[in-house]
Structure 1
Amino acid sequence: MPEKRPVRLVFNLTPSGIHDAAWKAQDDAATLSTNIDQLVENARIAEAGKLDAIFMPDSFGGLSADDPPRRPWRSLDPTVVFSAIAVATENIGLIATINSVYGAPFQVARDIASLDHLSRGRAGWNVITSQNAAALDVLGLDTVHERDAKYERAEEFVTIVHQLWDSLPQEAVVADAGAHRYVDVARTRPVEFEGRHFRAKGIHSVPPFEDNKPVIVQAGASEQSKQFGARWADALFTKHRTIASGQKFTADVGRYAEGAGRSSDDVLLLPGLLPIVGSTEEEARQIKRDLDEQLDFDHLREALAEKLGIGAGQLRDDRPLPYDAIEVEHASPYDRQQRGNLVQEAKDKDLTTRQVLLNNFLAGHRVVVGAPEQVADDLEAWVDARAADGFAFNVESNPRGIRSIVDGLVPELRRRGRFRTEYEGTTFRANLGIGAGSRAR
């Protein structure tokens, strides 16, 4: 019998949970975006379940007076939050999201390397390339980079970060008192990079933690994004609502990785998922119903229409989506992927418009509702079909959601031989089972 592939589990650390109504039933709702005690506690629960990592999404941009948040937002800087979590945990990976289009590569290299020391080898960087009007406004910028230019900037940015991480190897820090020399410059690898968008010259100020290199994660669906991730990333966050879509993405990334001189197994695929786990299927469905009843359906209907590129008046709650009116093939690459996922899942499951509205379409990740056995069946099906190596978990509400994963789903996966009982090592790389030298150059 072939060995069962392990299911990798990463937890999206959100203030209240991913469901738009999760915050409405929680104590001290007004402080959820900045409640560091709750974030630390959720991280501890995830580590008690031996999850691979936690990550925090992030994006530049202040609050909009025209369209204020309808739920607790991403407020605190992920690297600062993870500095607190690093000293409150021992094994779980910590993936901070930082943009690679804006800012300075040196600052990112320093922030992530510092986090790697604070956590003793558990740092990760989720590389994003997002651009939006709010970010441009708050940063005082005018230029929106076209897709090719955006990834060209990201390529230079990540290259400099890696060169900086390599520039001060641990063996260069000799601390030779007799020679009055702390660093042997001859053993350093100074950076001299001159690109179209960024340049850097010099030696990094932070040596690596025990020759470890932070884990690189990247998200995106375009061909440029897949190629970029195949060159640089150890893991990819993806959005897929069907196994067929996940399989195609896996095959594409594997092909690009091999073209970059890597193995197709060097890059882990972690599609987003919202599992709502109860002790029984009915309990799980009731948890979802209770939250769904508090949603603003007018807002959701307008948001769905915008995602589908149609008017809100074309949607009827008790009818299927108006497929003939939805343009997928000739949409932009991002819209094509998002719309294609929504439309295909709606067709496959014969969903009404109302069911689509209740199916986590805003976050873009599919929903699985049921008892631990049912959710585990779903996860196994995706991993065994090579549509995923694991999942980036969103939970409907915190801390109930992460506790249901740790107390219900994880024991079921262990019973099936699909999830660890103890961490394999002390660093994030060791626990993921990936080496430091597999990345293409």
Structure 2
Amino acid sequence: MSQNKPVRLVFNLTPSGIHDAAWKQQESPATLSTDIDQLVESAKIAERGKLDAIFMPDSYGGLNKDDPPRRPWRSLDPTVVFAAIAVATDNIGLIATVNSLYNAPYQVARDIASLDHLSRGRAGWNVITSQNANSLDILGIDEVYERDEKYERAEEFLTIVHLLWESLPQEAILADAASHTYIDLDRAREVDFTGKHFSSKGISPVPPFEGNKPVIVQAGASQQSKEFGARWADALFTKHRTIESGQTFTRDARAFAEKAGRSADDILVLPGLLPILGSTEAEAKAIKRELDEQLDIEYLKAALAERLGIEPSQLDPAKELPYDAIEIENATPYDRQQRGNLVQEAKDRGFTTLDVLYNNITAGHRVVVGTPEQLADDFVAWIDADASDGFAFNVESNPRGIEAIVDGLVPELQKRGRFRTDYDGTTFRSNLGVGSGTKAPR
């Protein structure tokens, strides 16, 4: 493994920041979730730092009345937001989250291809297969797919989308006035796919942008998810709190890619992360402490207890976690990974339960607090240990957090020769260094 491997950085764009208390520090908190000007400004700051991409998480759930939102979160459609950001930026990648179970493949293919044209080759798609109860309720769907059927549907969905992206190659658009021929249908590749779950027949009206294919991102921890991602994705979003678990996931993902006929280098592994920066370690800790002190501890206890599979009453903030009560080995694959990561980090760092609560505010992602030098040390250690290729990072509060990354961490990584000083190409693919992407099976 090269010790000069570049650090890849993808920014999770949320309206106020990922910390549950961040909105309380904003001037106009009531309009944060729909403030397109602030979202665009955060994206421009990220591009100033030469970051690889921005992504926006999303689900189809409406407001969950049983669990009131703790912060401004999912509101505007990511693809629509990125259309606005596309015209305000020039180089940074734009990864929209779209569900692959409850959409029409054609609609997604057209939306993402359209974004690729609007951004001149900078579109990405974060493929999700979530089916939480809140989403099913608002969509009016009763059926929950078992794991095998869920991934069957996703396989067919991705196949159709890729076939549609390949159906109208640029060479089919003749625009020949002399022969009165605009499109040569003989050079098109009509889709004729009938599957168990989805079907599609026809030719996409959207040609690829200069032969480009949008970047595919996927997240998941189970073996089926990793195998699915290894077949289709250019980058994998993951949750790892220790270098050892990151190494295992990265090794498995690359092995699955090779098994699928791809190169191990075709996939980037990008664990989630919350870096909190200050000019000194004390300043960084003070920034986090000021936010933490505004949190609802009882809510956090309930959320952590659910994740650990125990009762909230078993958690004493002043004591260590009740390790003997936490079932790991017999848990589901997803819970086993999440619980194992939390427990191992707590043991390694000597955390009290309160420490765990304050370091579990990002849906299981790792929290790193310190100076640009300390964070650069941490990032480089993970990459040089082959535990990741970079990070899909959150910021605690917008725009402070992204400004700190761009003005503090990025220059430190550049000084070490581990981060670009300018973009390498004109498309998201060329900047991310992930090749031409997966071809649809025919």
TM range (shorter): over 0.9
What amino acid does structure 1 have at the position aligned with 2:34?
T
Shift of 1:65: 2.4
Q: Tell me, yes or no, if the aligned pair for 2:232 and 2:438 is still in contact at 8 Å.
A: no
Call closer, same or farther: CA 1:221–1:111 in 2, change over 3 Å: same
Shift of 1:362: 4.6
How high is the TM-score relative to the length of structure 2?
0.98
Shift of 1:45: 0.1
Q: Tell me, yes or no, if the aligned pair for 1:318 and 1:352 is still in contact at 8 Å.
A: yes
What amino acid does structure 1 have at the position aligned with 2:191?
V
1:272-351 equivalent positions in 2, closer than 5 A: 272-351=272-351
Aligned: 1:76 with 2:83: no
**Sequence identity (%):** 75
Of residues 175-184 and 108-117 in structure 1, the stretch that sits farther from structure 2 once superposed is 175-184
What secondary structure sits across from 1:126 in the alignment?
A: strand
Query: In the comparison of the two structures, how many residue pairs are matched?
Result: 441
Q: Tell me, yes or no, if the aligned pair for 1:5 and 1:418 is still in contact at 8 Å.
A: yes
Aligned equivalent of 1:374? 374
Aligned equivalent of 2:254? 254
Of residues 178-187 and 87-96 in structure 1, the stretch that sits farther from structure 2 once superposed is 178-187
Q: Tell me, yes or no, if the aligned pair for 1:260 and 1:440 is still in contact at 8 Å.
A: no
What amino acid does structure 2 have at the position aligned with 1:156?
E
What secondary structure sits across from 1:210 in the alignment?
A: helix
Aligned equivalent of 2:244? 244
What secondary structure sits across from 1:143 in the alignment?
A: coil
Cα distance in 1 between the residues matched to 2:225 and 2:43:
29
Cα distance in 2 between the residues matched to 1:77 and 1:198:
24
Shift of 1:350: 1.4
Shift of 1:66: 2.7
Q: Tell me, yes or no, if the aligned pair for 1:62 and 1:135 is still in contact at 8 Å.
A: yes
Cα distance in 2 between the residues matched to 1:333 and 1:392:
22
1:10-159 equivalent positions in 2, closer than 5 A: 10-159=10-159
Shift of 1:439: 5.6
| Root-mean-square deviation over aligned CA pairs | 1.1
Shift of 1:347: 1.2
Shift of 1:180: 1.6
Cα distance in 1 between the residues matched to 2:427 and 2:400:
28
Cα distance in 2 between the residues matched to 1:242 and 1:160:
37
Shift of 1:61: 1.1
Cα distance in 1 between the residues matched to 2:348 and 2:201:
54
Misfit runs of 4+, over 3 Å: 437-441
Q: Tell me, yes or no, if the aligned pair for 1:189 and 1:203 is still in contact at 8 Å.
A: yes
Aligned equivalent of 1:398? 398
Aligned equivalent of 1:359? 359
What secondary structure sits across from 1:282 in the alignment?
A: helix
What secondary structure sits across from 1:291 in the alignment?
A: helix
What secondary structure sits across from 1:32 in the alignment?
A: helix
| C-alpha distance after superposition, 1:313-344 (max 9, x if no partner) | 11111111111101111111221111111111
Of residues 305-314 and 66-75 in structure 1, the stretch that sits farther from structure 2 once superposed is 66-75
Q: Tell me, yes or no, if the aligned pair for 1:413 and 1:419 is still in contact at 8 Å.
A: yes
Cα distance in 2 between the residues matched to 1:311 and 1:221:
25
Cα distance in 2 between the residues matched to 1:354 and 1:177:
72
Aligned equivalent of 1:7? 7
What secondary structure sits across from 2:166 in the alignment?
A: helix
Aligned equivalent of 1:428? 428
What secondary structure sits across from 1:167 in the alignment?
A: coil
Q: Tell me, yes or no, if the aligned pair for 2:2 and 2:384 is still in contact at 8 Å.
A: no
Unaligned stretches of 5+ in structure 1?
none
Cα distance in 2 between the residues matched to 1:227 and 1:245:
17
Call closer, same or farther: CA 1:309–1:362 in 2, change over 3 Å: farther
Q: Tell me, yes or no, if the aligned pair for 2:19 and 2:397 is still in contact at 8 Å.
A: yes
Cα distance in 2 between the residues matched to 1:11 and 1:423:
16
What amino acid does structure 2 have at the position aligned with 1:383?
I
Q: Tell me, yes or no, if the aligned pair for 1:17 and 1:23 is still in contact at 8 Å.
A: yes
What secondary structure sits across from 2:210 in the alignment?
A: coil
| C-alpha distance after superposition, 1:292-318 (max 9, x if no partner) | 010000110111111111111111111
Cα distance in 2 between the residues matched to 1:25 and 1:350:
31
Unaligned stretches of 5+ in structure 2?
none
Shift of 1:244: 0.3
Shift of 1:437: 4.6
Call closer, same or farther: CA 1:331–1:9 in 2, change over 3 Å: same
| C-alpha distance after superposition, 1:189-208 (max 9, x if no partner) | 01111111001111011000
What amino acid does structure 1 have at the position aligned with 2:180?
H
Shift of 1:67: 2.3
Of residues 207-216 and 176-185 in structure 1, the stretch that sits farther from structure 2 once superposed is 176-185
